[in-house]
Amino acid sequence: PQVETTEILVIGAGPAGSVAAAMLRRQGRQVLMIERQQFPRFSIGESLLPQSMEYIEAAGLLQDVVQAGFQYKNGAAFVRGEASTEFDFRDKFSPGWGTTYQVQRADFDNVLARGAERMGTTLRFGDEVLSVQPGRPARVQVRRPDGSEYTIEAGFILDASGFARLLPRLLNLESPSNFPVRGAIFCHVRDHIPADAGFDRNKILITTHPEHVDVWYWTIPFSNGCCSLGVVAEPSFFEKYPGSDEDKLRAIVGEDPNLTRLLVNAEWAVLPVRTITGYSANVSSLWGEGYALLGNAGEFLDPVFSSGVTIAFKSAELASACIAREYDGQTVDWEKDFSIPLRAGVKTFRRFVEAWYAGGFQKIIYHPDPQPDVRRMISSILAGYAWDTHNPYVADDSGRRLRVLEELCSG
Ligand code: FAD
């Protein structure tokens, strides 16, 4: 049978895959990207961080994203009962972008994939990668929508298969996440939030449940009058609510007075209510002979700080830089040049996610008299600058500085 060859095979055309494909095309590499679904398709992960703009720009996709008309975003607002605070990402410690977008992922992912295609990526929808035999070259088996199969020989594989986690499953790389299992129930609502409600559409709103510090809601406004609305909790919490997923979501939203007030006129479920559970995941290694894992195919922490797409882009940037050096005849140490730097920023986010669920981070952000310079450092991390080691809260490898700040704010 006929064997197709490519320099680089990208599996999955989500944000990680498309940005990697575009970056590799900028280096002149031959790129084939295979996506099993037809686009546009729904995906979760709708609030971007300003740090992600740097990678969109580096991939040559900035104009595509800017022109798509997504909701401008300049920060994050937090509410817990009577307490509220907000961060403007333009006021931050690290240099770089201070604004970004909130995106319907069906459109956003399509914009990125089409941009990568415009730059010369061969993009194939509807084909599914079934199996991979790693090596140089790797051999990959693919199934077309009509059920027929073909083989690809690829010089290098980037697994950007997201929550499908193709190579971790096929090659037995999965390792447990150290976060407890949590789930989310979510939908899009046509929000009709009253103009005088004090709601800033340029910010994501994160609301902590009035009684349960580890239960939280996201409200992510879009540019079309809709919001993404979701709640995150452990499965045992959701089980206490009767009825359908929509009944549960409505009941839990109804427990927060501020959200109830904002959504008083909302038309619910303009997109169907969906759920996702047990999304936190890890791998024993982010790379192997002739392949690397990008985005969610590698490690996924937690949605609370909207870091997923930023981490996906960072992985794409690091991997494409390593591939460039290999094609330049240099030897690449994938552990040192890809895995360790990627995991460094993930570790920063992990400290903050852990502090969020334990409640300490909330004490910090709601403190009535914050130090402006410390707040700018926190703002930087919330804006996604988790790799900027000039920021003391990034360099804080042991987490001591964050714990001290929590104690200071607990008084
Ligand atoms: P994906 O976007 O999942 O793309 C993977 C693609 O691979 C899919 O299109 C799939 O069809 C394709 N694929 C899979 N298997 C195959 C195969 N065998 N062959 C061919 N194609 C295949 N992140 C944020 O940045 N902001 C947020 O606000 C945010 N909120 C979140 C809320 C929740 C509840 C959850 C669970 C996550 C959230 N995230 C958020 C994280 C975000 O969803 C992910 O980090 C992001 O989508 C990862 O992108 P990706 O490119 O790695 O994978």
| Distance in angstroms (rounded) separating the CA atoms of residues 205 and 219 | 5
On whether residue 88 sits in a domain, the answer given is no
Tell how far CA 183 is from the center of its chain: 16
d(CA 213, CA 388): 29
**Residues whose CB falls within 8 Å of the CB of residue 191, separated by 6 or more in sequence, listed in order:** 219, 221, 225, 226, 227, 229, 262, 263, 265, 266
Residues 6+ away with beta carbon under 8 Å from 173: 167, 283, 284, 285, 288, 293
Atom index in ligand 1 nearest the CA of residue 186 equals 34
Closest by alpha carbon to 230, among 259, 265, 189, 187?
187
Residue nearest to atom 18 of ligand 1 (CA): 129
CA of 162 to the centre of ligand 1 (A): 5
Ligand 1 centre distance from Cα of residue 366 (Å): 31
Q: Which of 345, 362, 380 is the last residue of a domain?
A: 345
**Residue 141 counted as domain residue:** yes
146 CA distance to ligand 1 middle (Å): 25
The ligand 1 site (C-beta within 6 Å) comprises: 11-17, 34-37, 43-48, 128-129, 160-164, 166, 184, 276, 279, 295-297, 300, 303, 306, 308-310, 312
Sheet containing 83-88: which strands, arranged edge to edge?
Answer: 83-88, 75-80, 203-208, 216-221, 226-233, 183-190, 267-277
Which ligand 1 atom is nearest residue 294's CA?
A: 52
Question: Which amino acid does the sequence have at 239?
Answer: E
Report cis status (omega within 30 of 0) of the bond before 272: no
How far is the C-alpha of 279 from the C-alpha of 182, rounded, in Å?
8
CA 296 – ligand 1 centroid, Å: 6
How many angstroms separate the CA atoms of 203 and 9, rounded? 37
Q: Judging by DSSP bridges, how do beta strands 203-208 and 75-80 pair with one another?
A: parallel
CA separation for the pair 288, 224 (Å, rounded): 43
Query: What share of residues in the chain are helix, strand, coil (percent, to 5)?
Result: 35, 25, 35
Cβ atoms 18, 33 nearer than 8 A: yes
32 CA distance to ligand 1 middle (Å): 19
Tell me how far apart the alpha carbons of residues 221 and 204 are, in angstroms, rounded to a whole number. 7
Cα–Cα distance, 246 to 186 (Å, whole number): 8
d(CA 404, CA 351): 13
Residues in the chain: 411
- Strand pairing partners for 129? 142
How many other CB atoms are found less than 10 A from the CB of residue 309? 30
| 80, part of any domain | no
Cα–ligand 1 centroid distance for 14 (angstroms)? 6
Task: Kindly tell me the sign of the dihedral angle through the C-alpha atoms of 201, 87, 57, 307.
Answer: negative
Domain shared by 225 and 313, yes or no? no
**Domain final residue, candidates 310, 345, 380:** 345
Q: Which of 18, 33, 35 to mutate to test the pocket of ligand 1 (most atoms within 8 A of CB)?
A: 35
H runs (alpha helix) in 254-367: 257-262, 308-327, 334, 340-358, 360-365
DSSP at 336: I
How many domains, the chain? 3
**Spatial contact of 141 and 45, defined as CB atoms under 8 Å apart:** no
For a pocket test of ligand 1, which of 11, 44, 150 has the largest count of ligand atoms closer than 8 A to its C-beta?
Answer: 44
Instruction: Give the separation between CA 315 and CA 168, rounded to whole angstroms.
Output: 16
Final residue of a domain: which of 246, 277, 308? Answer: 277
How many angstroms separate the CA atoms of 258 and 392, rounded?
34
Residue 83 lies inside a defined structural domain of this protein: no
| Domain containing residue 43: CATH number | 3.50.50.60
| Ligand 1 atom having least distance to the Cα of 220 | 28
Residue having the nearest C-alpha atom to atom 47 of ligand 1:
45
Is 93 a domain residue? no
pLDDT of residue 341: 98
Q: Is residue 224 included in any domain, yes or no?
A: yes
Tell which atom from ligand 1 comes closest to the C-alpha of 297: 52
Cα(273) to centroid of ligand 1, in Å? 18
Q: Which of 131, 127, 129 is nearest to 146 (CA)?
A: 127
Looking from the CA of residue 311, the nearest atom of ligand 1 is 45
pLDDT at residue 411, rounded to an integer = 72
Smallest CA separation from ligand 1 atom 39, residue: 45
Domain encompassing residue 337: 3-71+102-176+281-345
Does residue 198 form part of some domain? yes
- Does 157 reside within a domain? yes
* Structural contact between residues 287 and 338, judged by C-beta atoms closer than 8 angstroms: yes
Q: What is the pLDDT along the chain (411 residues), one digit of tens a residue?
A: 679 999 999 999 999 999 999 999 999 999 999 999 999 999 999 999 999 999 999 999 999 999 999 999 999 999 999 999 999 999 999 999 999 999 999 999 999 999 999 999 999 999 999 999 999 999 999 999 999 999 999 999 999 999 999 999 999 999 999 899 999 999 999 999 999 999 999 999 999 999 999 999 999 999 999 999 999 999 999 999 999 999 999 999 999 999 999 999 999 989 999 999 999 999 999 999 999 999 999 999 999 999 999 999 999 999 999 999 999 999 999 999 999 999 999 999 999 999 999 999 999 999 999 999 999 999 999 999 999 999 999 999 999 999 999 999 987
Nearest ligand 1 atom, CA 12: 7
If you compute the radius of gyration of the chain from its CA atoms, what whole number of angstroms results? 21
Distance 308 CA to ligand 1 centre (A): 8
Cα 43 to ligand 1 centre (Å): 6
42, 130: one domain: yes
